[in-house]
Structure 1
Amino acid sequence: MRENKVCTRKMGRLFVVNLEGKIYSCKHCKTHLAVYEDIISKSFHCRHGKAYLFNKVVNVSMGENEDRMMMTGLHTVADIFCVGCGSIVGWRYEMAHEKSQKYKEGKSVLERFKISGPDGSNYWISHGTHVGGSDADDA
């Protein structure tokens, strides 16, 4: 059975959710972040290369909302941070300003460079990495 809840804090203690199955975790501290089954798209790109759009992520805290101009238009997003080590691991779409991008609202992007894959592999930046905006080329 797969657990998929947001981490909680009770009386100053942080409770981290452990996931089962094919897990994506923080590259630095191995905190569980998402499961393979929750991937919506693998066609996203960021400054460091590939990124995946997930339906759900866990064990993250959110930064402040801000408007960012991305390849697919203006979006209100919030950076997301690993609760285990504080590393930025991606961003969450809070609002899409264009009708065709509304499907992204409430979804999160994890940068492949910042996470370990289900098999323990890490993604390394290649010399041909796309260095434009941070959004999908074609979702």
Structure 2
Amino acid sequence: MAEYGPRLYSCCKCRNHIALHDDIISKAFQGRNGRAFLFSHAMNITVGRKEDRNLMTGLHTVADISCADCCEVLGWKYERAYEPTQKYKEGKFILEKSKIVNENW
């Protein structure tokens, strides 16, 4: 089978490229609407206002992330984790599985 470039995830609404499959850290996350993936990087997004949120793993400072083209909210960015065991999430991105689609698979 021929390889057609990197495996990507795109916005479910406008197909803007959002993240690379190779940047997935974990698929075992929970988003607002079900399963979510933790990514080390995301592209073509806008980062919203920071706010403290009590998530399942404790208090975090997060910012919603949206598609830069259509403004669909796709997940959030971890800005700060207060629990020492959660520090690995800082600077990482949660993308909701229901908000992204596979490209080049």
Name which of 5, 22, 39 aligns with 1:54: 39
Equivalent-residue separation in structure 1 for 2:59 and 2:83 (angstroms): 7
TM-aligned CA deviation for residue 119 of structure 1: 5.5
Gaps of 5+ in 2: none
In the alignment, residue 60 of structure 2 is paired with which amino acid?
A: H
Equivalent-residue separation in structure 2 for 1:64 and 1:55 (angstroms): 20
Equivalent-residue separation in structure 2 for 1:34 and 1:109 (angstroms): 11
Equivalent-residue separation in structure 1 for 2:47 and 2:32 (angstroms): 19
Name which of 87, 93, 98 aligns with 1:102: 87
Gaps of 5+ in 1: 1-19, 121-139
* TM-score, with structure 2 as normaliser: 0.92
Provide the alpha-carbon RMSD of the alignment. Answer: 1.2
Name which of 25, 32, 41 aligns with 2:10: 25
Name which of 73, 91, 97 aligns with 1:88: 73
TM-aligned CA deviation for residue 47 of structure 1: 2.5
Equivalent-residue separation in structure 2 for 1:47 and 1:106 (angstroms): 19
Equivalent-residue separation in structure 1 for 2:31 and 2:72 (angstroms): 16
Match of 2:54 in 1: 69
In the alignment, residue 57 of structure 1 is paired with which amino acid?
A: A
Equivalent-residue separation in structure 1 for 2:104 and 2:42 (angstroms): 18
Match of 2:21 in 1: 36
TM-aligned CA deviation for residue 46 of structure 1: 1.6
TM-aligned CA deviation for residue 118 of structure 1: 3.4
* Partner SS state of residue 80, structure 2: strand
Equivalent-residue separation in structure 2 for 1:40 and 1:22 (angstroms): 15
Normalized per residue, the structure richer in strand is: 2
Identical amino acids, percent of aligned pairs: 50
TM-aligned CA deviation for residue 75 of structure 1: 0.1
In the alignment, residue 69 of structure 1 is paired with which amino acid?
A: N
In the alignment, residue 71 of structure 2 is paired with which amino acid?
A: G
